[in-house]
Amino acid sequence: MPQKTKHTPMMEQYFGIKASYPDAFLFYRLGDFYELFYEDALEVAQLLELTLTSRNKNAEDPIPMCGVPYHAAAGYIDTLVEQGYKVAICEQVEDPKTAKGMVKREVVQLITPGTVMEGKSLSAKENNYLAALAYTDTSYQFAYVDLSTGELKATELTEEASILNELAALQSKELVLTSEIPASVIEQLEKRLGLLFSEEKEQLETTEFLFLTKELPENLKNVTLKLLTYLNKTQKRSLDHLQPALSYQVDHFLSIDYYSKFNLELIQSIRTGKKQGTLLWLLDETKTAMGGRLLKQWIDRPLIQQKQIEARQNQVESLLKAFFERADLQEVLKKVYDLERLAGRVAFGSVNGRDLLQLKTSLQQVPFIQTILTGINEGQWTALLKQITPLEDLVALIERGIHEEAPLQITEGNVIKTGYNAQLDQYREAMHSGKKWLAELEAKERAATGIKNLKIGFNRVFGYYIEITKANLVNLPEGRYERKQTLANAERFINPELKEIETLILEAEEKSVDLEYQLFLEIREEVKKSITRLQKLAHGISTLDVLQSFATISEKYQYVRPTFNQSHTLKIIDGRHPVVEKVLGHQEYIPNSIEMDAKTFILLITGPNMSGKSTYMRQLALTVIMAQMGCFIPAKSAELPVFDRIFTRIGASDDLIAGQSTFMVEMMEANQALQQATPDSLILFDELGRGTATYDGMALAQAIIEYIHQNVQAKTLFSTHYHELTPLEKELTHLRNIHVGAVEQEGEVVFLHKMMAGPADKSYGIHVAKIAGLPKKLLERADYLLVALENGEQAPKVAPEVEQLSLFSESNEVEREVLGELKALNVLEMTPMDALNALHQLQKKVK
């Protein structure tokens, strides 16, 4: 960058401001544009496809420059922030008319991926969390906030993996580092999550911030205060909507690690990265943005307290039975806007008249919600009804003050209703009367001059004027008007009477707009006093919305209420995979039961590929998650223990981003389960050990099964292709073999997609290859090799190039007849004696 001394005072000012925001694009306000210079201009012109120009074009070193109109800047800023950049908004902070020298400018807001308050990058049904991380010798301190809703929470984490789990669950885009963090942690987070890292080492301890953190344990206060300091520095405005910080513990919820959530496709499809095809997609029948966000939080954090789960189940059952009331409730909820984010914008000072009208409409639905819930309440809704209280005072204030057709801008008038303020009404009367006086004056002057097309008009530059066409100037009495402006075809004049009316009207308009703005700010401040009440109401309504969503899908897909036990008994009769069933349809899906009594720890699953083993395992995990969220589940009946953690290894998803092979990922995930699982956990291992040599894999698989059986004793589903492991059932008392049924008919395999007791008799791998469409010659060779290997023979290394001799001579008519009869035999439907008799007859014919 050139030396500051070579530049104008304006550029000197720019350099001074830019120096404080080196990691952000500086949108520097000049008149009606935001301008960017130097490296910012070069990069932003490319990112936003803007025209790159230059300042001081004739100078030795012209300054690269690009800009966007200030009224359209929001869209450009959204695009940059969505791509992971920071944008500093620099505005004039004094009136140019009164400025001495350079107009003073300051950055009024720093917009970052974690601090977005509105715009296209803020999805209605998703939170936008900004997280902060600190490190001490023994643990990590973690805090997060959603600036748009005011949610603020903190926790302590003892493992690096837990940081990844939390950030992935929150889908944070930005992490504020508040102390030195181990490089290994930063590297992992960068590789896996692509976070934007910011730093904040200062710690403001204002009265407001100390109040927000007063309920936190001492060890979590510093990281939370630094997070709040970062918000204060970047946003430079009121944060009154932030809720007092709550501490939480990750082990107070059903723990599901980052890999398991990914494998189970809870909120994001592995194939597309989208919501469709996920558990969230299935469960989301919410009618409000707030409900959609809360549902996502419940999926991330299912409950582990049986009483809490059953309380939610009672509420879902209540709504399930009340069909008509639920339908009415859904219609009312559709009229409720995003109360959480409206409250945030009120505190932030970005709310407009239309936002307040949305707030009024939302609050007007509360009495209807109360009536519906009270009508079906048998005790299960009493606590929630205390949160859902109407705010009649706010409804009345907005009803009285805000015009029904208020514009988006709050500085251009027509926001406040007539009748709200006497002074404003007087100004409006003056404007109305002035326009009447103008019409009367125009009629009077036409009569006096005899010029019928004389007209009184207005423009922003010259104000009010009397316009006479040039053809009629000869009819104008000399000295009647004072000349104001000359046009090609007309002359414009003024007279004392018009000047007087103009003064009255313009003064009334200017004062009216200023007064409306002040009145709007007063109404906004009054609403601001009720932010806590609004947030409490928002939480109550969003909770109700998620519960009605559960009731709706439970009815739609014929789900049942599971029961819970403390005896480690798991019994799901005719369970279904909820997402696969939605895709296939209820009639097409083949249900499967899963039964494990208190003494059964492991189900060893064998069976062919493509037969449904992985689906069976995912089905159990999703059923457990749904049940512990309080939702009903896809089954004929179900009895479950309450699980504390779920570990999965399903599918061969290489962690290529982190440079790890399938086998390494398998072993890491297996290790996590073996180290952290308890007898209350659920472990799902799908074909563990396949990523290495056969004997290695088989040895590891057996050792892992034995370790789980003897040391962990968690409920475990372990699928394998190693049939050599099935004899373990005789040695391990808490292990049972089950398999996926399949039958062969006339050389074709048919998968039954049904789980059956005992081990599978073979793997049907070649049949699966046939379904996949491999060449016939290749399949025949594979069959030949398989028979040889099964008989303990040494198979030829290379297939013979000459065609194999036919079993029967084509020229022998008897042999052709025997071959035809042999092909026609249906061996599966013959008794052993019938088969022997048929074989004897065929042999006689050949001889």
What pLDDT, on the 0 to 100 scale, is given for residue 740? 85
**What residues form the annotated binding site?**
607-614
Q: Where are the beta strands (DSSP E) in 11-135?
A: 25-30, 33-37, 53-55, 63-69, 87-92, 105-111, 129-135
Give yes or no for residue 494 having a pLDDT over 60: yes
Cβ(265)–Cβ(562) under 8 Å? no
**pLDDT, tens digit, for every residue of 736-789?**
999 987 776 666 666 677 888 988 766 666 666 777 678 878 877 777 777 776
DSSP label of 709: I
What pLDDT, on the 0 to 100 scale, is given for residue 201? 94
Six-digit token pair at 261?
Answer: 């959530």
* Phi, psi of 37, deg, nearest 5: -130, 160
3-state helix, strand, coil in the chain (%, to 5): 45, 20, 35
Six-digit token pair at 207?
Answer: 């009265």
Residue type, 449: T
| Statement to judge: residues 614 and 695 lie in one domain | yes
Mode of pairing for the β-strands spanning 174-177 and 129-135: parallel
Region 707-724: mean pLDDT is: 92
Give yes or no for residue 701 having a pLDDT over 80: yes
Residue 645 confidence class, pLDDT cut points 50, 70, 90: very high
Out of 307-321, 364-378, 468-482, pick the least confident: 468-482
Cβ(608)–Cβ(742) under 8 Å? yes
What strands, in cross-sheet order, belong to the sheet with 715-719?
Answer: 255-256, 645-649, 682-686, 715-719, 602-606, 735-745, 748-757
Answer whether residue 430 is part of any domain. yes
Cβ(219)–Cβ(171) under 8 Å? no
Answer whether residue 41 is part of any domain. yes
Cβ(682)–Cβ(643) under 8 Å? yes
How far apart CA 598 and CA 769 sit, in angstroms, is 39
| Statement to judge: residues 631 and 732 lie in one domain | yes
Q: What is the 3-state secondary structure (H, E, C) of 602-613?
A: EEEEECCCCCCH
Residue that is last in its domain, among 499, 523, 547:
523
Out of 146-150, 752-756, 829-833, pick the least confident: 829-833
Helix ranges restricted to H, 152-276 = 160-170, 183-193, 207-212, 218-235, 258-264
| Statement to judge: residues 502 and 550 lie in one domain | no
Q: How far is residue 790 from each of residues 228, 467, 721, 762, 795, measured CA to CA in Å? A: 69, 107, 16, 11, 10
What pLDDT, on the 0 to 100 scale, is given for residue 610? 67
Cβ(714)–Cβ(670) under 8 Å? no
Answer whether residue 784 is part of any domain. no
**What residues form the annotated binding site for ATP?**
607-614
| Statement to judge: residues 92 and 51 lie in one domain | yes
Answer whether residue 693 is part of any domain. yes
Cβ(209)–Cβ(240) under 8 Å? no
Give yes or no for residue 815 having a pLDDT over 90: no
| Statement to judge: residues 315 and 371 lie in one domain | yes
If one compares 830 and 497, the residue with the highest pLDDT of the two is: 497
How far apart CA 832 and CA 835 sit, in angstroms, is 5
What pLDDT, on the 0 to 100 scale, is given for residue 755? 87
Query: Minimal CA–CA distance to 316: which of 640, 634, 627?
Result: 627
Residue type, 106: E
Six-digit token pair at 398?
Answer: 């907005």
Mode of pairing for the β-strands spanning 682-686 and 715-719: parallel
Give yes or no for residue 668 having a pLDDT over 80: no
Six-digit token pair at 339?
Answer: 């109360």
| Statement to judge: residues 441 and 497 lie in one domain | yes
Region 634-647: mean pLDDT is: 96
Answer whether residue 216 is part of any domain. yes
Region 326-348: mean pLDDT is: 95
Residue 5 confidence class, pLDDT cut points 50, 70, 90: very low
Give yes or no for residue 655 having a pLDDT over 50: no
Q: How far is residue 287 from each of residues 354, 491, 539, 784, 841, measured CA to CA in Å? A: 21, 61, 14, 60, 74
Helix ranges restricted to H, 529-661 = 531-556, 578-584, 613-629
Residue 395 confidence class, pLDDT cut points 50, 70, 90: very high
**270 three-state secondary structure:** coil
Cβ(133)–Cβ(163) under 8 Å? yes
Rounded percentage of the chain residues whose pLDDT exceeds 70: 90
Answer whether residue 309 is part of any domain. yes
| Statement to judge: residues 568 and 673 lie in one domain | yes
Region 541-556: mean pLDDT is: 98
Six-digit token pair at 241?
Answer: 């909507």
Residue 3 confidence class, pLDDT cut points 50, 70, 90: very low
Residue 827's CB: how many other CB atoms inside 10 A? 11
Residue that is last in its domain, among 714, 742, 768:
768
| Statement to judge: residues 837 and 719 lie in one domain | no
| Statement to judge: residues 584 and 703 lie in one domain | yes
| Statement to judge: residues 636 and 671 lie in one domain | yes
Cβ(712)–Cβ(735) under 8 Å? no
Mode of pairing for the β-strands spanning 174-177 and 151-157: unpaired
What pLDDT, on the 0 to 100 scale, is given for residue 134? 97
Total of domains in the chain: 6
CATH of the domain at 67: 3.40.1170.10
| Statement to judge: residues 368 and 440 lie in one domain | no
How far apart CA 603 and CA 354 sit, in angstroms, is 59
Residues 6+ apart with CB under 8 A from 587: none
Answer whether residue 226 is part of any domain. yes
Answer whether residue 408 is part of any domain. no
Region 211-220: mean pLDDT is: 96
| Statement to judge: residues 487 and 627 lie in one domain | no
**79 three-state secondary structure:** helix
Give yes or no for residue 381 having a pLDDT over 80: yes
Cβ(240)–Cβ(150) under 8 Å? no
Q: What range does the domain containing 373 cover?
A: 286-294+304-391+530-556
How far apart CA 719 and CA 760 sit, in angstroms, is 11
What pLDDT, on the 0 to 100 scale, is given for residue 654? 42
Residue 2 confidence class, pLDDT cut points 50, 70, 90: very low
Give yes or no for residue 498 having a pLDDT over 70: yes
Residue 598 CA to its chain's centroid (Å): 38
Region 343-362: mean pLDDT is: 93
Q: How far is residue 802 from each of residues 28, 610, 612, measured CA to CA in Å? A: 80, 34, 40
Please name every residue paired with 198 in a beta bridge, in sequence order, or none if there are none.
176
How far apart CA 707 and CA 702 sit, in angstroms, is 9
